[in-house]
Amino acid sequence: MGAPVLRYLAGPAGDRVKDFNGKVAVITGGASGVGRSLAFALGRRGAKVAVGDVDADAMQQIAVDLEAENIEAIVVHCDVTSLESLNALADAATDKLGGLDLVFANAGIGAGETGAMWDYSEKDWQWCLNVNVWGVINSIRAFMPRLVATGKEAHFVVTGSGNGAYLILPDAPIYTASKATVHAITENLHYQCQAGQLPVKVSALFPGPHVVDTGLFNSGRVRPEALQKDTQGNESGINSVDDMKEMAAQYGIELQTTHPDEVAEMAVKGLEQDAFWLLETTEDTDAKIRARAEMILNRTTPVPAMLG
Ligand SMILES: NC(=O)c1ccc[n+]([C@@H]2O[C@H](COP(=O)([O-])OP(=O)(O)OC[C@H]3O[C@@H](n4cnc5c(N)ncnc54)[C@H](O)[C@@H]3O)[C@@H](O)[C@H]2O)c1
């Protein structure tokens, strides 16, 4: 597991650094983890922040914490599986904060599936695809027409995952499938904005370079009533990053983790340069991406890449 690799292939430096002061940033899934860190990273740079989430406790906490730092913000109940809910978030940000400049389609869950995919509960498939994929589609449908209509420079950032976008890790097929779809949508959105010469810049945010210490492995706390299962917790038995560390240790691996604040800083620095890839990898991950490309070019039968 080598040193992190971070490169932005942006154009010439100089006029590219952005000022987020006074800008309005909307963050879905903004009450915890990466979204919460983004709210503070942008708020500390003077942005006004609209947090949309479904976790009442986390929403209450972030509202208090943002106020304590004098960050102008609204915290709104928003379920990304509903287009109406996202339209209401967009209206609230526009009416109460005075506009829309940056949108982070960030909300996501891990369904915690394990075993053979043909045995998975349909409820796991539905929940994960509803939040991770439809959440992004709904966010595009709610926010892109508004961003385009302003005619001003804006950013639309989608939180994806390397697991699905450029590697297929073998342990969470529903999540991987959702994030493969999310990346295809994100890259296409970028191409469409580029082709239309729109002032909206699209970026793909990949939390990392290591597993990010967030609530993702305990997503069951926000599983909707209609998609509850009989079992408690994740069937994989992994309900936190600590569980993951313990499991890795059983295989003799010391799992490294990344703090979500580091992800937010990496993302904001990339946005300052209009980077598409908000991506920090390790040399180990780069080697796996290279091996995957070689495997396709050489028609080699896939072997699973492991978490690193
Ligand atoms: N943690 C990692 O290692 C990692 C790695 C790659 C990608 N990601 C992605 O980062 C994003 C943020 O996740 P995180 O790791 O910060 O986890 P997190 O659980 O801490 O944050 C996710 C947030 O989304 C919210 N959410 C869940 N369902 C929602 C819904 N229907 N509507 C609105 N909000 C909802 C949750 O309440 C939570 O606040 C996700 O898209 C995730 O897939 C995380």
Ligand 1 and 81: CB distance under 6 A? yes
Ligand 1 and 34: CB distance under 6 A? yes
Q: Is residue 7 part of a domain?
A: no
Q: Is residue 183 part of a domain?
A: yes
Q: What number does the ligand 1 atom closest to the CA of 182 have?
A: 41
Per-residue pLDDT at 13: 45
Ligand 1 and 108: CB distance under 6 A? yes
- At 68-92, the pLDDT tens digits run 999 999 999 999 999 999 999 999 9
Q: Is residue 246 part of a domain?
A: no
pLDDT category of residue 236 using cuts at 50, 70 and 90: confident
Check: CB of residue 59 under 8 Å from CB of residue 77.
Answer: yes
Q: Exposure pattern of 252-280 as b/e (b: 16+ CB <10 Å)?
A: eeebeebebebbbebbbebbbebbbebbb
Check: CB of residue 100 under 8 Å from CB of residue 139.
Answer: no
Q: What is the largest CA-CA distance in the chain?
A: 57
- Residue among 27, 28, 32, 75 whose CB has most ligand 1 atoms within 8 A, to mutate: 32
Q: Is residue 9 part of a domain?
A: no
Per-residue pLDDT at 308: 58
Q: Is residue 297 part of a domain?
A: no
Q: What is the mean pLDDT of residues 14-34?
A: 87
Q: Is residue 14 part of a domain?
A: no
Domains identified in the chain, total number: 1
pLDDT category of residue 237 using cuts at 50, 70 and 90: confident
Amino acid present at 100: L
Q: Quickly count: other Cβ atoms within 10 Å of residue 83's Cβ.
A: 14
Q: Which domain holds residue 151?
A: 20-223+232-237+257-282
Q: Is residue 296 part of a domain?
A: no
Check: CB of residue 282 under 8 Å from CB of residue 5.
Answer: yes
Per-residue pLDDT at 15: 46
Ligand 1 centroid distance, CA of 266 (Å):
17
- At 180-200, the pLDDT tens digits run 999 999 999 999 999 999 999
- At 190-231, the pLDDT tens digits run 999 999 999 999 999 999 999 999 999 999 999 999 999 877
Q: Is 175 a catalytic residue?
A: yes
Q: Is residue 11 part of a domain?
A: no
Ligand 1 and 32: CB distance under 6 A? yes
- SS3 of residue 258 by DSSP: strand
Q: Could you tell me the CATH number of the domain that includes residue 54?
A: 3.40.50.720
